Amino acid sequence: MALLVQKFGGTSVGSPERIEAVAAKIKQYRDNGDDVVVVVSAMSGETDRLIGLARALSEAPPPREMDVLLSTGEQVTIALLSMALQKRGCPAKSYTGSQVHILTDNAHCKARIQGIDGSRIQQDLKEGKVVVVAGFQGVDEQGNITTLGRGGSDTTAVALAAALKADECQIFTDVDGVYTTDPRVVPHARRLERITFEEMLEMASLGSKVLQIRSVEFAGKYNVPLRVLSSFQEGPGTLITYEDETMENALISGIAFNRDEAKITVLGVPDQPGVAHKLLGPVAAANIEVDMIVQNMAPDGATTDFTFTVHRNDYERALEVVRRTAGEMGAREVAGDDKIVKLSLVGVGMRSHAGIASTMFETLANEGINIRMISTSEIKISVVVDEKYLELGVRALHDAFQLEAPAAG
């Protein structure tokens, strides 16, 4: 008998029929003698629909009210799933985030979980109930409803698993595990049996939205056994674990990509100490996160070019801020491009192997794909390329590093 925290994403609970199927699955675990705490997302498309309603009313909806609105999506699902479980003779009880004291800071729309009081849940489990908790939401010290950022139900599940010391946190979704890359882009991508926290964190940070970044951080920090599985078919899924000697360290575990990128270049900036600070200070002050940064050599010894990337949603705002500063600094020109994407290779095996970057660059060159920016760390290499090359680039790299599933038979 185990204590399991099971999370079902939006597609998995996207219709009454699917909710019935989820209830049937949970009941199987119960019948096996496991204790189950369930975390659910809003039904698929619901969070987007709610955001659309808010935008129809206001260009910049107040974040506090946004959270009141968005949290309703998950509240619908917990009630429906509990009904479906009870119908099957499986005692179940639903709770919103605040009812089980998922305490967060007050950063509306991107709140962080600070603590969970598991006593109410533990009492219900003792009484033989399945506890169904709304994902993605919490409450701050003042009693305001908060939400945890897109994909936040993953983090609710991991945080509950940590608080309750669950035996495993199981993330049920519409794919049967973590793949070498998004199977929607490379249909013959391969499911990974295991991936390290470190690699999964990079994959998530670099754009693989199969798990929210914070859920991976949390699981790594509190040593929560985490598994990604399919809601629709049986199988072992993918276990996210610490690195150990027995793992054959694949050179490359996966390829991540991010479509939400934009870049800004300032040309002909006077090359003096403090340029980066002068240009990026006001960007940071406007609460815009900067990712990659490249400052060129100054061939004429007098002026230099400076390029950086931001989230595509922040592009217009960042451009405005930079134009102002660049004008004051006497830069020649500001140019921008929001039709770029980032492709990244991730793998702990990279630490001990040279030559991966050159294979990557050669592969892209052979496809006629121009690399706009490069950034590397111990276990990843990222390049920025034009948006139109995303699929071609990912597939070419997947082939070049032989990440595909072996042919059947």
Binding residues for substrate are: 47, 74
By the 8 A CB rule, do 326 and 308 touch? no
Closest to ligand ADP by CB, 82 vs 208, is 208
Per-residue interface string for the shown chain with ligand ASP, residues 1-20, x marking contact by CB under 6 A:
--------xx----------
Closest to ligand ASP by CB, 10 vs 254, is 10
**What residues have CB less than 8 Å from 235, skipping those under 6 apart?**
176, 177, 229
Using rule CB under 6 A, residue 208 touches ligand ADP = yes
Closest to ligand ADP by CB, 42 vs 164, is 42
Closest to Mg ion by CB, 151 vs 268, is 151
Run of H or E residues at 25 = helix 16-31
Using rule CB under 6 A, residue 254 touches ligand ADP = yes
Q: Which residues are annotated as a binding site?
A: 7-10, 47, 74, 173-174, 179, 184, 209-210
Residue 75 burial (C-beta neighbours within 10 Å; 0-12, 13-18, 19+): middle
Name the binder of 47 from Mg ion, ligand ASP, ligand ADP, none, CB < 5-8 A by kind: ligand ASP
Number of residues lying near Mg ion (CB under 5 A):
2
Residue among 164, 178, 283, 397 that touches ligand ADP (CB under 6 A): 178
Residue among 11, 23, 35, 73 that touches ligand ASP (CB under 6 A): 73
Chain position whose Cβ is nearest to ligand ADP: 9
- Contact positions with ligand ASP (CB under 6 A) in 151-210: 151-154
Q: What does the block give as tokens for 163?
A: 């608080």
Angstrom distance (rounded) from CA 260 to CA 116: 32
Closest to ligand ADP by CB, 303 vs 382, is 382
Using rule CB under 5 A, residue 207 touches Mg ion = no
Q: How far is the CB of 367 from Mg ion (least distance, A)?
A: 31
**What residues have CB less than 8 Å from 143, skipping those under 6 apart?**
98
- Contact positions with ligand ADP (CB under 6 A) in 335-374: none
Residue of 164, 167, 186, 166 lying closest to 175 (CA atoms): 186
Residue 289 burial (C-beta neighbours within 10 Å; 0-12, 13-18, 19+): exposed
Per-residue interface string for the shown chain with ligand ADP, residues 36-65, x marking contact by CB under 6 A:
-----x------------------------
Name the binder of 184 from Mg ion, ligand ASP, ligand ADP, none, CB < 5-8 A by kind: ligand ADP
Closest to ligand ASP by CB, 137 vs 241, is 137
Name the binder of 323 from Mg ion, ligand ASP, ligand ADP, none, CB < 5-8 A by kind: none
By the 8 A CB rule, do 198 and 242 touch? no
CA distances 49 to 44, 54, 314, Å, are 10, 9, 22
Pairing of strands 92-95, 130-134: parallel
State the Cα angle at 94 between 92 and 150, rounded to 5°: 130
Angstrom distance (rounded) from CA 161 to CA 6: 9
By the 8 A CB rule, do 148 and 137 touch? yes
Sheet holding 113-116, edge to edge: 113-116, 102-104, 137-139, 145-147
Closest to ligand ASP by CB, 124 vs 154, is 154
Angstrom distance (rounded) from CA 305 to CA 268: 6
- Contact positions with Mg ion (CB under 5 A) in 2-41: 9
Using rule CB under 6 A, residue 210 touches ligand ADP = yes
Residue among 151, 220, 336, 347 that touches Mg ion (CB under 5 A): 151
By the 8 A CB rule, do 381 and 342 touch? no
Give me the residues that bind ligand ADP (CB under 6 A), please.
9-12, 41, 151, 173-175, 178-179, 181-182, 184, 208-210, 254
Contact residues: ligand ASP, CB under 6 A: 9-10, 41-42, 47, 73, 135-136, 150-154
